Structure 1
């Protein structure tokens, strides 16, 4: 039996339908490459198994990761299973990405290898958009019943709290579900200035489920009250011709620009000039394009779809709209509010602070923690793992030094304030205890000798928003946290 601890030399296989070389690559592929590159940088041997688009190399090294491409959109699943079976004795852990259709890796490796299922979002609605009868019905059955039959109670990673809800309510999966949110690369545009006129900038694939037609129809109504509004849409896809025709049908050609794909530099400069970004997708695992815009200080208006409603903090970093028919009204009121530069600057500061909480380092740390936790579950039973409840413990740094974070589980997480140079001792530390209620958390603190006075230590059951933006996983790789907190507490206590 193989074991995974997240250490150097261990072999992780990541299964994903596409990689960055695929012409339809998107957010899931960004997640794939960002996390695997960080695993490789820590000395792990990482192999990506994916489909092979035309003219792509069969084998390639990408940032220290071996990418093996095989088969097309349909045959890759069988070929991947055969490859896994041949190499099953050389694999320490598997991340099995379910993009509607999972790879069913346990059929090839059995219980000898820890498997974490990664689900960006549920595809039940999208099968009907892309397939007819009976393929849509078969796809829905495979995603729902097939997942339950093959993966059983294996650990599931999702990228947002609403995806977790969908996995439970729609798919009915029974394994422990943990949030491993998207990170993002910090975006910076030197000397960026917002446009002189109200400008909406959107980035995304021109695909049916993105529903850009809703944005265009809303824009024609926004223009009645904001006559100089303009929309810039960056991206390409199968709906481009249809959207171009709709622009002319709605007489919006003088205020809408379809840029197609842009390089990172031009895209980021255009995005930084926006007053707003908008996303009307029917379903998303996470609004990566939205948080990227926020990192440049641009707030967002989004529909309350799974994933999107998590990436925006309503009325703090943007606006969450409950129904498509309210989109035009919210866009209008947001643009009018942002006309005031001081107000816009306040929104920008909140957006940058929120987006700055999501890093790929934290995502990679989280995924390695989930793999290690899944490995540990095979060895020793844990009666908390099937409970979706989590509890947050918020305590001053002087008390945080009493906790040995390596003795917490790999699924638990830690976050902390940036030390204030003027008062480091005022720093607070937060711990997310997965599978605990308030009573369990208080009992744990008592065993650790941590004061549970509610005036000092705050304990509450985690809300969906509390599951996002954590810096580190606890457990075996968290040995540096206690010394760091002790140093911060010592500096604070030495101040006069």
Structure 2
């Protein structure tokens, strides 16, 4: 099959995350299975307009807010070259189902819904919500791959046909020669991901401030980058809480360095307000680092409560309370370490790729 993927970012984009890892891990395996795969995504600083990575051909045009328009014109010009379009939904899709309805398979990571109002100012949020409602109506019969039962349930609640949805098993990508390191000598908490409102960065800092009052030698590592305007808020919050010497902002790091930091930290925390599938939780688990996170869709699908991690109510006080309890109880912590490791070892991208290509073939018109 000749597969075209539409995704606003790709595996090399510094702003990319778990969705881009998922996409690439499937795509390169589809290539190994004999399919041809092209991915159309936005440009980023110093990016190439076209390149081949792991057998996948990447075409880059436009910015993240214009790539959808460029993708439309690219397809119209090259429509005879492709049998299937995998249309990835991040807030909203590329609307390929409108101009290529018989070829479109959706890949939906999450349904934003009311979350939009927590991220954007009112007029803009209302516009995004309207677009989402329109797309959900247009895509309710489109064959759709999702990454968690929570996302499937959200789509069904919005009148998507359940029989047209498949929940893909997830996997983990671990750099070669990565081995668990010794934990830091002082209590070290880590947060991994983009630094922004959606990821709950300010709640994370506030929660750590409460932890630091109880455990004075504890430190927080923020691993990830953010927009300049938001980073000013981050730095101001750190300064206001008097945490300048206890919080380290690592910025964007390589996958190898990310796993090394996860291995050295004691606990992964996240105050994210919504996730399609919390990839960093099993990544941390693979490094014997348990997680304490907000009880949200996407995390509930991964955490086995108080066995592989802890789900808490969505407020910094509860997040801090559970972190402190776990750090102060060595026996509970070591048991959770072992269970989080065992749980993480069950994930495989091979299973993800196999299930996804089977679904694509079953719903393809060729």
1:46–1:321 CA distance, 2 compared to 1 (3 A)? same
Q: Does 1:172 align with 2:178?
A: no
Higher RCO by CA contacts (8 Å cutoff, separation 6 or greater)? 2
Q: What's the CA shift string for 1:25-66, capped at 9, x where partnerless?
A: 222111121111111122210010112235422221111111
Q: Does 1:217 align with 2:206?
A: yes
Q: 1:227 aligns with which of 191, 208, 216?
A: 216
**How many residue pairs align between the two structures?**
361
Q: 1:95 matched to which residue of 2?
A: 86
Q: Does 1:104 align with 2:128?
A: no
- Provide the C-alpha distance between the structure 2 equivalents of 1:97 and 1:317, rounded to a whole number of angstroms: 30
1:318–1:80 CA distance, 2 compared to 1 (3 A)? same
Q: What's the CA shift string for 1:194-213, capped at 9, x where partnerless?
A: 12222212211111111122
- Provide the C-alpha distance between the structure 2 equivalents of 1:41 and 1:64, rounded to a whole number of angstroms: 8
Q: 1:155 matched to which residue of 2?
A: 143
Q: Which structure: larger Rg?
A: 1
Structure 2 length-normalised TM: 0.91
Q: Does 1:320 align with 2:311?
A: yes
* Per-residue deviation, 1:307: 0.3
Residues 302 and 309, structure 1, Cα contact 8 Å, conserved in 2: no
SS at match of 1:163: helix
* Per-residue deviation, 1:123: 2.1
Q: 1:128 aligns with which of 103, 108, 117?
A: 117
Q: 1:305 matched to which residue of 2?
A: 296
- Provide the C-alpha distance between the structure 1 equivalents of 2:277 and 2:33, rounded to a whole number of angstroms: 26
Q: What's the CA shift string for 1:65-87, capped at 9, x where partnerless?
A: 11111223333222322322333
Q: What's the CA shift string for 1:176-225, capped at 9, x where partnerless?
A: 22211431123664361112222212211111111122122222222333
1:49–1:266 CA distance, 2 compared to 1 (3 A)? closer
Q: 2:323 matched to which residue of 1?
A: 331
* Per-residue deviation, 1:368: 0.6
Residues 111 and 155, structure 2, Cα contact 8 Å, conserved in 1: yes
* Per-residue deviation, 1:132: 4.1
Q: 1:64 aligns with which of 55, 59, 69?
A: 55
Q: What's the CA shift string for 1:394-434, capped at 9, x where partnerless?
A: xxxxxxxxxxxxxxxxxxxxxxxxxxxxxxxxxxxxxxxxx
Q: 2:280 matched to which residue of 1?
A: 289
After superposition, the CA RMSD in angstroms is 2.1
SS at match of 2:325: helix
Q: 1:439 matched to which residue of 2?
A: none
Q: 1:29 matched to which residue of 2?
A: 20
Structure 1 length-normalised TM: 0.68
Q: 1:43 matched to which residue of 2?
A: 34
- Unaligned stretches of 5+ in structure 2? none
- Provide the C-alpha distance between the structure 1 equivalents of 2:308 and 2:5, rounded to a whole number of angstroms: 33
* Per-residue deviation, 1:133: 5.1
- Unaligned stretches of 5+ in structure 1? 1-9, 380-496
Q: 1:138 matched to which residue of 2?
A: 127
